[in-house]
Amino acid sequence: MFEAQGFVMLREREHIAMVRENPDGIRTPLTVPNHRAIKRSTLRTICAQAVIEREEFLDAYNRKAFLARC
């Protein structure tokens, strides 16, 4: 899901480590728990760190869920 926002997965274990190269040359790291369910507060923090708006995340999530059903 975060790939649509420009993040690339570096590794996947208990946590998923990702990074995004920004246009200004700064790298934005992102670590996401590799769990089936994530608490709302954790997800909110992840989106804040990734500078992803709530609606943007929900759109990507709904798009992925829709494509999985097709």
Percent of the chain clearing pLDDT 70 (strictly above): 91
What is the average per-residue pLDDT within 40-51?
Answer: 89
Query: How many CA atoms does the CB half-sphere of 20 hold within 13 Å?
Result: 16
pTM for the model stands at 0.74
Q: pLDDT tens for residues 16-42? A: 999 999 999 999 999 999 988 889 899
Whether the per-residue pLDDT at 68 is higher than 80: the answer is no
How many folded domains does the chain comprise? 1
Please give the Cα distance from 16 to 6 (Å, whole number).
15
User: Which residue matches tokens 């649509």?
Assistant: 4
pLDDT score for 70: 62
Q: Is 18 within 8 Å of 29 (Cβ atoms)?
A: yes
Q: Residue 60 belongs to a domain with what CATH number? A: 3.30.920.30
Q: What letter does residue 27 receive in the DSSP assignment?
A: E
Residue 16 is part of which domain span? 2-69
Q: Is 46 within 8 Å of 16 (Cβ atoms)?
A: no
